[in-house]
Amino acid sequence: MAKIIAILMILLVAGSAMGDGDDRPKVPYCPIVLDNLTPCLPYVLENEAKPAKVCCNGVLDLSHSAGNKEGRQNICDCIKAEAILMNMPLDNFSKISSLPKACGLLINLPPISNNTDCST
């Protein structure tokens, strides 16, 4: 867990907000994505039967940006980068795409695996 916190701190310092000031939903930047999804790690990586409420609240927060291709691509890129920084196989994150349904939300998060192309 200390490793995750250290990585999150590095990303918080290095991250910068994205968006061009128009009325479109903002694209989340990595520290926000990671902050929202970190409570989901027990469900995603440790096979908890059900995600925690705090996890579902984070997924709901991300849902505002996951409605457009650019937002989904950014979420996917951030998750892949985090997996690489954690030195974990991407296939360990395959349950990410099941989070919305497990939380009772009608949004899509991209599946994450070794074959995932975030640009599509």
Q: Indicate the number of domains in the chain.
A: 1
The first and second tokens of residue 80, run together, are 């892949």
Q: Is residue 20 a part of any domain in this protein?
A: no
How many residues in total does the chain contain?
A: 120
Q: Structure pTM?
A: 0.71
Average pLDDT across the chain, whole number? 78
Contacts of 63 (CB under 8 A, 6+ apart): 100, 105, 107
| Contact of 26 with 65, CB cutoff 8 Å | yes
- The CATH number covering residue 70 comes to 1.10.110.10
Burial of residue 113 (CB within 10 Å: 0-12, 13-18, 19+) is middle
d(CA 64, CA 46): 27
Q: For the residues 35-44, what does the mean pLDDT come to? A: 93
Q: Is residue 15 a part of any domain in this protein?
A: no
Please give the pLDDT value at position 53. Answer: 97
